Structure 1
């Protein structure tokens, strides 16, 4: 964990400098409403250099540069150098560096056993390790204890323009909103999961996420006493479809998500 903490803090210092000069960043389009900045690329390079120097045998899965290292890796870094890029580029101080540590457990299986999520703008460093717990800096984290869905605040991610599954999102939201105290969308899935682990949210759902978005966050939620699955009850790390929450509210949220998806599938074509 010390290796990762050192790396994310170094990358974070560079990102903070760029964040202070956000108007001058050179920005290019990567896809629909998905920006890549020079800051993003520099942060990824810093992380790769620092992590490779400390653990030269580990492979990588990184948002910008993809997979690298030995195909038969035993350990792998799963890295999002700047989760919440749109927030970053608009001067909104809600973005993070996310690093998951994945261990191969079989020929076709693996498990994320630790992770770090760091928001340099607030200097909040969330970390978790399997069997050790989840922490914010040095404070132990636990998911919220709320049991009444009417008192719950859930987080989600709204699909961008040009991204599929907008109909499913709208259908799910239509079912969730009348039953809860509030729904929040802050635009950084890694921080959503970290905040869930910290008890700031009571649940979170989003469809179509990538491994680097959720690797660190999923182990954090579980180590804080929460539950996470995909809508079908399977592994969200493989599918990228996440429904997470405390042990009481996660099944209730999953039921609403399943109903929302089913309603879209039942609509007549055209």
Structure 2
């Protein structure tokens, strides 16, 4: 069986290959839309995914693949790679630095579900690479990181994100409106993977979002969990926070999340 360290090495090389595409992109042009008129895909998304999957395919040809921009293969090894080649496409279009490449390796369990065993989120704008392997802890550029804990609710800096559909946004805005008076403040940077890694590194105290795709959080959720966060499903997304804070936020978010 392939060791987590070997998988992590492949994931880091693939993520940095995607990151080089993002850094060299220059002017970014939208070439289509996905879930709504404001959910864009760019040439850079496609080029980054091609760079990532080239590394993965060369190193792990028998593994499966699930990519945001359509890259997919079934695989025969019992492992698959979950890839978001540009997490933060809107940020990329606007020249905002909050853009990452997110890659997770997942192992298929006997019941057919998938469990992340390795996660890498590479932030090319800051030259930061967040990594984790199941049971081995989380790191930033090779140095161990840990979530903030305990954090009182009224001192919690909470990160979140928003869906693209107006009805979803109205519901999510209502959650923010009810939560904001009870906490320190809200942050939203437009990249679920990055928010989860910032939580892992102590740059915020919690993250929640209830409408996400698997590639949005597969790597970041493992990194946050390995840094000490409690990570649980919230709708089709996740809620992640330190052990003391998590149940307090769960009480205030779970009842308004859309069902899985």
Per the normalisation by structure 1, the TM-score is 0.88
| Equivalent residue number for residue 221 of structure 1 | 224
For the pair 1:79 / 2:83, whether they are aligned, the reply is yes
| Equivalent residue number for residue 67 of structure 1 | 72
Counterpart secondary structure, 1:44: helix
Displacement of 1:170 in angstroms is 2.2
Alignment counterpart, residue 111 of structure 1, candidates 99, 103, 115: 115
Q: Deviations over 1:125-174 (max 9, x none)?
A: 000001110000111010012421111100000222x3542233123112
Q: What runs of 5+ residues in structure 2 fail to find an aligned partner? A: 1-7
Displacement of 1:5 in angstroms is 1.2
Whole-Å separation in 1 of the counterparts to 2:166 and 2:218:
22
Counterpart secondary structure, 1:65: coil
Alignment counterpart, residue 17 of structure 2, candidates 5, 10, 25: 10
Whole-Å separation in 2 of the counterparts to 1:164 and 1:133:
38
| Equivalent residue number for residue 27 of structure 2 | 21
Deviation larger for 72-81 or 47-56: 72-81
Alignment counterpart, residue 137 of structure 1, candidates 129, 134, 141: 141
Displacement of 1:242 in angstroms is 1.1
Whole-Å separation in 1 of the counterparts to 2:81 and 2:203:
27
For the pair 1:158 / 2:165, whether they are aligned, the reply is no
The answer on whether the counterparts of 2:230 and 2:241 sit within 8 Å (CA) in structure 1 is yes
For the pair 1:37 / 2:42, whether they are aligned, the reply is yes
Give RMSD over aligned pairs: 1.6
| Equivalent residue number for residue 189 of structure 1 | 192
| Equivalent residue number for residue 240 of structure 1 | 236
Deviation larger for 167-176 or 96-105: 167-176
Per the normalisation by structure 2, the TM-score is 0.91
Whole-Å separation in 2 of the counterparts to 1:171 and 1:3:
42
The answer on whether the counterparts of 2:87 and 2:99 sit within 8 Å (CA) in structure 1 is yes
Aligned pairs for 1:252-267 within 5 A: 252-261=248-257
Whole-Å separation in 1 of the counterparts to 2:169 and 2:21:
35
The structure whose Rg is larger is 1
The answer on whether the counterparts of 1:130 and 1:223 sit within 8 Å (CA) in structure 2 is yes
Counterpart secondary structure, 1:77: strand
Displacement of 1:209 in angstroms is 0.3
Displacement of 1:110 in angstroms is 2.1
Aligned pairs, how many? 250
Displacement of 1:67 in angstroms is 3.0
